[in-house]
Amino acid sequence: MTRTTAVGFDRVTKGYGDVRAVDGLTLALHPGETVALLGPNGAGKSTTLDLLLGLRRPDAGTVHVFGGEPREAVVAGRVGAMLQSGGLMDEVTVAELVRLGCALHPRAYPAADVLARAGLTKIADRRVDKLSGGQAQRVRFALATAGDSDLIVLDEPTTGMDVTARQAFWATMREQADQGRTVLFATHYLEEADAIADRVLVLHRGRLLADGTAAEIKARAGTRRISFDLDGGPDGSPDGSTDASPDGGRNGTVDEATLRALPHLTALDVSGRTVRIQSADADATVYALYGLGLYPRNLEVAGLGLEQAFVALTAAEEAKQP
């Protein structure tokens, strides 16, 4: 069965002078998907969103939204967007601005419902230029959901929102996706991407570095976290020497340099007797520990969080660049 494509990028390139902001990007987004777009500063996330909203045109390649030109989809009300930079009008109230957003949307919801969903009812009469940062974000959110759009595009949507507003925001987005809409959001909050997105795209220098579920991206980073306690302390303190366990005397002689020489180590943190390691091959690292005569206690091996996986993937890619 062929799946409908909400957004299709085919070998899209967009540059500004010498900078290739988007470099040969090919991807397809489908209805009902919640997709997080991640990438370090300057990776090309905002440019990608601008291209799919028809705010910029590609230098090469094609961008389609629901099979047509991005602008056609926007004009038809099929796309709702919440952009980072969009200034809000001065000297109007929240209700007036939201009513205007509804009036401009070809498939608008009642303004009172839009205000309520964005948690704005109580501040509906307040002037937009007097709002706090988080309140202004909620107004942008209201404008992005003023009508029945099939695709919702959000650039850093929860910046400045408090915890309650964030939770309410994501619950609404989940409902939107459950109703078959595609939700695409760019973010630097990796824990939000991990918790909310069905699919995570990692951009790096305008290219797609990874595309999969958060679990797949974490697994792809390969690296695992190992933590354990050493009785004697790796700084050589002898307090483990009275321990009857076989490691007592040996651990007392271990220092950080010994741990640093373990195979496949990518990070080391020693805090008192607790050692935390990141390793590209956890099995080999743990075997080597025993090989050194160390008997780690409370040994735990776990995968990386999405944030650590993201750092590992982008750092590895950066290291390949000339």
Ligand X SMILES: Nc1ncnc2c1ncn2[C@@H]1O[C@H](COP(=O)(O)OP(=O)(O)OP(=O)(O)O)[C@@H](O)[C@H]1O
Binding residues for ligand X (CB under 6 A): 16, 19, 21, 39, 41-47
| Nearest residue (CB) to ligand X, 51 versus 226 | 51
Which residue number, 39 or 157, has a Cβ lying nearer to ligand X? Answer: 39
- Which of 155, 231 has the CB closer to ligand X? 155
Residues 6+ apart with CB under 8 A from 319: none
Nearest distance in Å: CB 59, ligand X = 13
Contact predicate 98/136, CB 8 Å: no
Residue 38 in tokens? 């991640």
DSSP letters, 152-219, are EEEESTTTT--HHHHHHHHHHHHHHHHTT-EEEEE-S-HHHHHHH-SEEEEEETTEEEEEE-HHHHHH
**Virtual CA dihedral for 124, 126, 130, 134, nearest 10 degrees?**
-20
Shortest distance, position 181 Cβ to ligand X, whole Å: 23
Nearest distance, CB of residue 191 and ligand X, angstroms? 17
Choice between 2 and 41, CB closer to ligand X: 41
Q: Smallest distance, Å, CB 311 to ligand X?
A: 15
Compare residues 41 and 298 and give the one whose CB is closer to ligand X.
Answer: 41
Shortest CB 42 distance to ligand X, Å: 4
Question: CA-to-CA distance for 236 and 96, rounded, in angstroms?
Answer: 69
Cα 13 from Cα 182, distance rounded (Å)? 23
